[in-house]
Amino acid sequence: MASPKRRLQGLVAATITPMTEHGEINFSVIGQYVDYLVEEQGVKNIFVNGTTGEGLSLSISERCRVAEEWVTRGRNKLDQIVIHVGALSLKESQELAQHAAKIGADGIAVIAPFFLKPWNKDILVNFLKEVAAAAPALPFYYYHIPALTGVKIRAEELLDGIQEKIPTFQGLKFSDTDLLDFGQCVDQNRQRQFAFLFGVDEQLLSALVMGATGAVGSTYNYLGKKTNQMLEAFERKDFSSALNYQKKSFLKIPTSSKLNDRKITGWNKV
């Protein structure tokens, strides 16, 4: 069974994919990006080719090359590198999973297929299981993001019995505002040492209260240092300072109405 070096916890930056002005991937800045995260933001875990990295808008070969560059540049500097390998095609997803294992990533994550959608838990788990089986030595994370996939199967239902089906299952990346569902996932699986990574940065403090063990998000690229201060305040039970940090970070994040103006799907729209 896959066992991570240690449980993935703390902040995980969902990396953007740097582009040149001609729409080509700008591999040349990834080394500097790693240094910036580690040295300026105090963030040593990354999530590559996810929503923020626009993995689903890249070709398979681009996704492989991006993953490779992050793993090469992050070696001996970053703690854990998780590669998102979700795709509509099971074969492509398996190919990406195998590639992640080959290049030495620390884990893989997969979203639910979002065009011809799984209509129940078993169908979704079977899809995830086939992808996970393509990289049997890598920790596997389910990436729950119902507002974007349209797959509304509750994470708590999905997690029930998942390790029997997917032995490499190590955790959940939960990008949804349903804190009841999140809290139930944590409560029912606490003894299994899974990672519960929250993905709505604006609500991280509430998710910590519900038992989040870490967070994956776009804002940790530039608010990592501040958010680490919030995690420390929470740890020492200084809730008033923690709340202040969380409130300050709201101001840096576009509100859903601004997002809607920019024709980007906001959380409240779906």
Ligand X SMILES: CC(=O)N[C@@H]([C@@H](O)[C@H](O)[C@H](O)CO)[C@@H](O)CC(=O)C(=O)O
State yes or no: residue 142 binds ligand X (CB under 6 A).
Answer: no
State yes or no: residue 219 binds ligand X (CB under 6 A).
Answer: yes
State yes or no: residue 10 binds ligand X (CB under 6 A).
Answer: no
For residues 52 and 44, give the distance between their C-alpha atoms in angstroms, rounded to a whole number: 17
Of the candidate spans 38-46, 95-103, 181-189, 215-223, the one that interacts with ligand X by CB under 6 A turns out to be: 215-223
For residues 107 and 43, give the distance between their C-alpha atoms in angstroms, rounded to a whole number: 17
State yes or no: residue 58 binds ligand X (CB under 6 A).
Answer: no
Of the candidate spans 69-77, 128-136, 198-206, 225-233, the one that interacts with ligand X by CB under 6 A turns out to be: 198-206
Judged by CB under 6 A, the residue of 107, 146, 217, 224 near ligand X is 217
Judged by CB under 6 A, the residue of 17, 45, 52, 170 near ligand X is 52
Q: Is 222 helix (H, G, I), strand (E, B) or coil?
A: coil
Beta carbon of residue 268, minimum distance to ligand X (angstroms, whole number): 11
Annotated ligand binding at 85? The verdict is: no
Which of positions 226-265 make contact with ligand X (CB under 6 A)? 253
Is residue 143 part of the annotated active site? The answer reads yes
Per the listing, tokens 């090359």 go with 65
Judged by CB under 6 A, the residue of 2, 8, 14, 125 near ligand X is 14
Q: How many CB atoms lie within 10 A of CB 220?
A: 29
Cβ-count burial 192-206 (b if 16+ within 10 Å, e if not): eebbbbbbbbbbbbb
Sequence-distant contacts of 223-232: CB under 8 A, at least 24 apart:
223/41, 223/249, 223/252, 224/11, 224/13, 224/37, 224/40, 224/41, 224/42, 224/43, 225/40, 225/41, 225/42, 227/11, 227/201, 228/10, 228/11, 228/41, 228/42, 228/43, 230/204, 230/205, 231/10, 231/11
33, 143, 220, 245: the active-site residue = 143
Annotated ligand binding at 52? The verdict is: yes
Judged by CB under 6 A, the residue of 10, 17, 46, 47 near ligand X is 47
Could you tell me if 244 and 255 are in contact, meaning their C-beta atoms sit under 8 angstroms apart? no
Judged by CB under 6 A, the residue of 216, 223, 230, 233 near ligand X is 216
- Taking CB atoms, the residue at the shortest distance from ligand X is 50
For residues 19 and 29, give the distance between their C-alpha atoms in angstroms, rounded to a whole number: 9
Catalytic residues: 143, 173
**Which residues of the shown chain bind ligand X in the complex (CB under 6 A)?**
14, 47, 50-52, 175, 199-202, 216-219, 253
**Binding site residues for pyruvate, as ranges?**
52, 216
